[in-house]
Structure 1
């Protein structure tokens, strides 16, 4: 738990006012309060010359430890100065200046040029007492002013289709499709790491309320409430009954308004209609939460048209400026499919959060955050990882293609998939065994149902030896009552008991609960059970599902808090967002001890600040198989990577599929599914992890379409291209570990001075040189592409040159997505292979794109052990000089067992006057025999 320390006066040589106290790397200020919700004390501590820790408290104590910050970055000596000027205090390092207003305690952060980076709003520090059943604490809010052109990114991933969060409200709580990282990056060269583990909100902190508080009348224009029409068909034709309803509140399993009798059996669809008569002018915010097929109109404008699987509803937001005296028509049509729906709103606020940076948390002892200044976003991310931990190097096979589905039901079925891939010569490196390989009533036992998986050890051996592949297995923090592992956890007090006490059954039909990873002993016991049952079988990676934790879906916020906890650290409400962090910590640390020579890989459905140090990747949850969801994955992934978590992936094709596709699909529906999956696959080939997964239809390339179908041809093309690019991708994996790099890059990373890129949510850089432009609409065969300001761009497929800073309409035939290469690029590509280690990457083809200087470092090692931590790896650096048209290949650094001593580099040189496609049929312009010593080549 967090420890508390008393404020101590430390004697120093600095002459300080009586209300200022010196600490090792900063100062403590006593605040003259002007309102009751202000803090009494403010603490400023420098971590580095560009990172500062800010704390504000109403107590006479500050929190001394953190659950996310590394201890070894706290006690570093920093050179800083203090002075007073114009009735303000100033703290200064070599990189930043912090001003503390003497009368208001308002903070302002400057760069060394004296330019304001960030400034608090008036009364920007708010600490309010709050009481819950289990504790008394505070809710906290920190508010800053923003610049007119400022944009905000990060915060984990959210399925809202938003790239730039400015003007939006983001609710940070772990959910199947929300992974929370309370780290925000500004286009104004700073980041804020918010050190709080409870539910947090960016933007407007108010809770949405029921529409019954809004002045709404039915379709007759006078009767209070919405007119509700219930239909016995799905086409809104056969009216079953009609009523007047004050609200739409069918969101949860535990607190819901009742539906009419025979709902579900005889009622298939609902229409709510009426008029909103606002009682004051201002911006109203609406939030529709729904599953099934839903449409919503306001003033005949269609603002929602979506489908979600019935068990996983999702949010849709709409802001509307309304005027008192006007009337606004509203209509909602819902084909429920057994799902959920709720409509809520927020009235106009006295505070315009659209022009503020506000962070609010539900439970805290103090305001606690880290300000990180950086001249680039890469430097800001580097600061985040300095505080929370570096990302270890993933196994090399992780960069290949992953095949998964829900689920392989038998041992033969799983092995048959790998067999088919190898027969067809379609590259693959990893297959995934999803849930339910155990006997039906033994969830958490880690046993196999031997009627379906007769010899799991032999299965894993066959994957490794016969198919040269890897296998990841799904493990949950979940236990059925009565299993041996359940009893072990129960006896040690490591289980959440409320779900058991209520006798709540899961969708399979058994009572279960989750373990508490906040206990170190629980983490160790959880691993002990895995070590005994699964480790001896030889699995390569761990898929940690439902790590929100999702004990039972579709419960209200309050009931979710009750079902989880108390934790080993205290009330769940306070620590709700870090379950996944501690769960991955236990797996990673114990795996390193048990298997010291095998790199850990963890895939999890949730994330938190610091989780990257546990070799954990995150995927975007059980998203739906719709074009809408495909489009939303792009900004979701980009913002997760902007949050400092470098390894992100998704279910290619979407997890849940509509019945029109899953059950006896019509020809047109099947063709739409194939195109959706293909477009998703094309995008996935340029993500940090390339992974297909989902429910029926089966997700294997050969099950999507026949070999002569454009879908099949396209997927095989991009799969093989991914494998050609392994030297590029794996070198970037190393760059993540060595330099805190980010491989999946929003355009703001590399083009911060181009204001046109700030809100672009459907283009990004894959590494430093490849611009990826996915297709996210059905039957689209071209799209507008903006080429950011630089020295120019080359079309990937033709080599044709384009001027930068312009938008172009680019062809996007079924089988291709637009790809561009930045002028001034070096891209290494290897031979055609079926798995990453099939053969050595020799020769390597270097595609050199002229127009600007370029560099790249090729990294190689043994691929799946930790010898790289001991220096067992090699680096070969390349540098292209555009002025004299030369390529310099520098002397190799380092060595490792099995390293290629002499190798061949084939150079393809592309310029505006000499375009060439990115392929392997064209003859090299130059060939270099490299023996580890520096060589220089003239390309023209």
Structure 2
């Protein structure tokens, strides 16, 4: 968080007089870049690293000081040169070349080879006077020029199903199902972060690409060069913070609904899963465990149906499961937090959910609830929030936080609402950063209290930098439909491409408005199964929704197609945990991403740039969810038309396999060349799933919960066709000792030409590490895929005791 003048006492100024067309222009070299004034606009160019440059502009004669809410890094000492040729100033570091036109102030960015990556539009900086709740400031805009065919990604999460973010206009203001992040990255290997929190318009058309924010004392953006998508994301996380590890159990299966109405009902669900032998790691309690709406979000179990909350938590833990609970950004007037926040002047006055104190639907507005949002920008308010969260819930042993309405809900918005005073100025000025502040408050307080338990937060909204706060964002209260399922894919991928790696959606969709027959509708049952199959390959696998319960036994019994498909994919999720957990370590240790748009790994293949219904989980598994109905047909009885199941013919889906590598069908082991479309049969219990050639895929044990068995007997699947590498990561699963080096890694190398698997010396150690283990090595080929049992007879079985081994296959 850096004021532009924080380092002024250390600046060394080199003043150079430039003479061009009869005029003089002065610029100053600073320890991090240059400063100048052009056409009554002050310009400050700063290298934050060899690959990242900060650009600040503001009207001359004004001051622009700012502590960023998103950016937490300080400018690094960076070697750079400054050269002037005619009216152009060139600043060059090892990774980026910045040109400044000293006549019109236009800035362009190139790679070290002078290939232009991005340029501002001439005269593209605009400052329009604006009165922000009595403060004279500006509406700020900056325009850029992109290549005509250039593909860009990011901008957070939208529900339009659009992968490439060109030719669109976005009103960027956080909402229930839209999480806007003013950041985009290009297939050319650069990114732009517009560091502003007020409502912002992003516009891309044939003329220009621009950000325009309602409030700003100046323009403030960062340009970063990464070379590829991973590199750009690494730059963004270097600026805004790294993603910590989640506990292993968060990667298991999670059951939820709106809502469990008693502690007996909640515990009974966990017991039922254990009786059925269906794996489960967590259950989530939604709202109203606190009682009526006047007690909204009391952070206490005041509802008499939750008669012994400590026993409930202990019962869930005794069943080897975990419990997450709903908490909100607002409080009812009869709660203790409300009263203390009110005394501190830390409540915001606008209308939020719920509007009525009566729980009946529709809301009875003649009985207003009085619920108000708290001022999450105020550190004292964040302290109060944690005080009650800790006393009422954390000390019971609840395992994680479901932070609902974290954007927050702002109903019947009126212009004056944005004038509401927060600790950091008007609500308008900081509106989009609300989720960052409220989620950050909970994470920072829990981290300060204990390192024995990793913080895990499920949040409805996010902003730039939120990855540093142990948060997994879900896509909000989407309405169940095939279109919505399809659109989740691009939503999650662009969110990940914005630098935040953890995302999920309500499996089955939240609202069932389009399916009034609910679970009795065969099309909805098919949709739910396909959504669950998609959810098995997301960072969090979590079933949730209103209108009908979603537990597996609501979909029939063993032998029923829907039930069997659900069970199959829950079990597959658990078999893949060693791969998923290793991928999460790559996120923390190497700034990787879990959900990977095809362009991340195949930018050379233009056919992969705009595919919005496929992606990679990690760097080995290509996932192509089924997003249309296949097994229902209409039945006409007189005037009535209904649907019935029809499994008489197996349907299929076309899948594009990116070029430059070979691929294997996960289910059959059949090989395919990349750079082509293939047709995959998709019965209800099959999702198209392919494995990249050169992959080493670990398959874990069949378990009832994530930590039931150690990984001392793993299947290792080798997918030939290229050299490969995989790092198996293990630690103590649920503390921060890994930050002190308490973990182990085992690195596997596959030499395709020699047909050799090298297992390197184990690195590191942790308390429960197996002294030795068995690896069952399988060479995958046609007819030797996953099969129905998700396992294979090994080609070789070896015992590994931590020392280097070479296995010939």
Matched ranges for 1:639-658 at <5 A: 639-658=494-513
Equivalence for 1:187: 187
* 1:662–1:696 contact (8 Å) kept in structure 2: no
Matched, 1:935 2:805: yes
What is the number of residues matched between the two proteins?
773
Quote the offset at 1:812 in angstroms.
Answer: 1.0
Structure-2 separation of matches of 1:98 and 1:3: 22
1:535 to 394, 399, 407: 394
Quote the offset at 1:881 in angstroms.
Answer: 0.9
Matched, 1:460 2:317: no
Equivalence for 1:515: 374
Matched, 1:419 2:274: no
Equivalence for 1:630: 485
Equivalence for 1:812: 682
2:664 to 785, 794, 797: 794
Quote the offset at 1:791 in angstroms.
Answer: 2.2
Matched, 1:162 2:169: no
Q: Report the CA distance shift for 1:132/1:450 in structure 2 as closer, same or farther (over 3 A).
A: closer
Structure-1 separation of matches of 2:603 and 2:350: 50
Matched ranges for 1:230-629 at <5 A: 353-354=205-206, 356-440=208-292, 441-465=294-318, 467-499=319-351, 507=363, 510-552=369-411, 555-556=412-413, 558=415, 560-561=417-418, 565-629=420-484
Structure-2 separation of matches of 1:911 and 1:791: 16
Quote the offset at 1:21 in angstroms.
Answer: 1.3
Quote the offset at 1:662 in angstroms.
Answer: 4.8
2:739 to 859, 866, 869: 869
Matched, 1:26 2:30: no
Q: Report the CA distance shift for 1:649/1:808 in structure 2 as closer, same or farther (over 3 A).
A: same
Quote the offset at 1:511 in angstroms.
Answer: 1.9
* 2:663–2:674 contact (8 Å) kept in structure 1: yes
Once the two structures are superposed, residues 672-714 of structure 1 have per-residue CA deviations (whole angstroms, 9 ceiling, x without a partner) of: 1100100000000000111110002101111133322211111
Quote the offset at 1:811 in angstroms.
Answer: 1.1
Quote the offset at 1:561 in angstroms.
Answer: 2.5
Quote the offset at 1:482 in angstroms.
Answer: 2.8
Structure-2 separation of matches of 1:829 and 1:557: 54
1:770 to 615, 621, 626: 621
Q: Report the CA distance shift for 1:880/1:61 in structure 2 as closer, same or farther (over 3 A).
A: farther
Quote the offset at 1:530 in angstroms.
Answer: 1.2
Equivalence for 2:639: none
Q: Secondary structure at the match of 1:417?
A: helix
Equivalence for 2:543: 692
Matched ranges for 1:879-890 at <5 A: 879-890=749-760
Q: Secondary structure at the match of 2:697?
A: strand
Q: Report the CA distance shift for 1:504/1:471 in structure 2 as closer, same or farther (over 3 A).
A: closer
Matched ranges for 1:704-783 at <5 A: 704-779=555-630, 781-783=651-653
Quote the offset at 1:488 in angstroms.
Answer: 0.9
Quote the offset at 1:796 in angstroms.
Answer: 0.8
Q: Secondary structure at the match of 1:481?
A: coil
Structure-1 separation of matches of 2:336 and 2:807: 66
* 1:166–1:354 contact (8 Å) kept in structure 2: no
Structure-2 separation of matches of 1:926 and 1:763: 33
* Superposition RMSD in Å: 2.1
Once the two structures are superposed, residues 470-523 of structure 1 have per-residue CA deviations (whole angstroms, 9 ceiling, x without a partner) of: 0000011211113222111111111113549x9976848522111101110000
Q: Report the CA distance shift for 1:557/1:726 in structure 2 as closer, same or farther (over 3 A).
A: farther
Q: Report the CA distance shift for 1:503/1:12 in structure 2 as closer, same or farther (over 3 A).
A: closer
* 1:6–1:62 contact (8 Å) kept in structure 2: no
Structure-2 separation of matches of 1:838 and 1:8: 57
Structure-2 separation of matches of 1:185 and 1:4: 25
Equivalence for 1:99: 99
Q: Report the CA distance shift for 1:354/1:928 in structure 2 as closer, same or farther (over 3 A).
A: farther
Structure-1 separation of matches of 2:14 and 2:797: 65
More displaced stretch, 20-29 vs 717-726: 20-29
Equivalence for 1:79: 79
Equivalence for 2:646: none
Q: Secondary structure at the match of 1:596?
A: coil
Q: Secondary structure at the match of 1:752?
A: coil
Equivalence for 2:777: 907
Quote the offset at 1:61 in angstroms.
Answer: 5.2
More displaced stretch, 4-13 vs 42-51: 4-13
Matched ranges for 1:654-693 at <5 A: 654-658=509-513, 660-662=515-517, 670-693=521-544
Quote the offset at 1:625 in angstroms.
Answer: 0.8
* 2:12–2:31 contact (8 Å) kept in structure 1: no
Q: Secondary structure at the match of 2:401?
A: strand
For structure 2, the 5+ residue unaligned runs are 19-24, 632-650
TM-score (norm: length of structure 1): 0.80
More displaced stretch, 723-732 vs 129-138: 129-138
Quote the offset at 1:902 in angstroms.
Answer: 0.4
Once the two structures are superposed, residues 229-271 of structure 1 have per-residue CA deviations (whole angstroms, 9 ceiling, x without a partner) of: xxxxxxxxxxxxxxxxxxxxxxxxxxxxxxxxxxxxxxxxxxx
Quote the offset at 1:374 in angstroms.
Answer: 1.1
* 2:188–2:227 contact (8 Å) kept in structure 1: no
Structure-1 separation of matches of 2:355 and 2:589: 50
Equivalence for 2:640: none
Once the two structures are superposed, residues 869-900 of structure 1 have per-residue CA deviations (whole angstroms, 9 ceiling, x without a partner) of: 11100000111011111111000110011111
For structure 1, the 5+ residue unaligned runs are 34-38, 205-352
Quote the offset at 1:59 in angstroms.
Answer: 3.7
Structure-1 separation of matches of 2:342 and 2:792: 65
Q: Report the CA distance shift for 1:104/1:859 in structure 2 as closer, same or farther (over 3 A).
A: same
Quote the offset at 1:148 in angstroms.
Answer: 2.5
Q: Secondary structure at the match of 2:77?
A: coil
More displaced stretch, 629-638 vs 13-22: 13-22
TM-score (norm: length of structure 2): 0.92
Structure-2 separation of matches of 1:707 and 1:62: 69
Q: Report the CA distance shift for 1:14/1:897 in structure 2 as closer, same or farther (over 3 A).
A: farther
